[in-house]
Amino acid sequence: MEMEEEPPLQMTTRPSPTRPPAAWLILDRFIVHRSSHRRPDDAEDAEPSAASHDCIGRPIRAYLDVADPPAVSRLYLRWPPGTPSIRGMEPAAIAAHGDCILFTAYAPFMDPHCHHYTSTFVPVDYFVYSASSPPSLTRLPP
Per-residue 3-state assignment (H helix, E strand, C coil) for the chain: CCECCCCCCCCCCCCCCCCCCCCCCEECCECEEECCCCCCCCCHHHCCEEEEECCCCCEEEEEEECCCCCCEEEEEEECCCCCCCECCCCCEEEEEECCEEEEEEECCCEECCCCEECCCCCCEEEEEEECCCCCEEEECCC
Q: Which domain holds residue 119?
A: 26-139
Residue 11 in any domain: the answer is: no
pLDDT, position 27: 94
b/e burial code for range 109-124 (CB count within 10 A of at least 16 → b): beeeeeeebebeeeee
Q: Which residue type occupies 130?
A: S
Residue 6 in any domain: the answer is: no
Cα 139 from Cα 75, distance rounded (Å): 15
Convert the pLDDT of each residue in 59-75 to its tens digit: 999 999 999 999 999 99
Residue 5 in any domain: the answer is: no
Residue 8 in any domain: the answer is: no
Convert the pLDDT of each residue in 40-65 to its tens digit: 444 445 567 999 999 888 899 999 99
The pTM (predicted TM-score) of the whole model is 0.73
Residue 86 in any domain: the answer is: yes
Low-confidence stretches of the chain (pLDDT beneath 50): 1-13, 15-16, 36-37, 40-44
Residue 16 in any domain: the answer is: no
For the chain, how many structural domains are there in total? Answer: 1
Residue 15 in any domain: the answer is: no
Residue 19 in any domain: the answer is: no
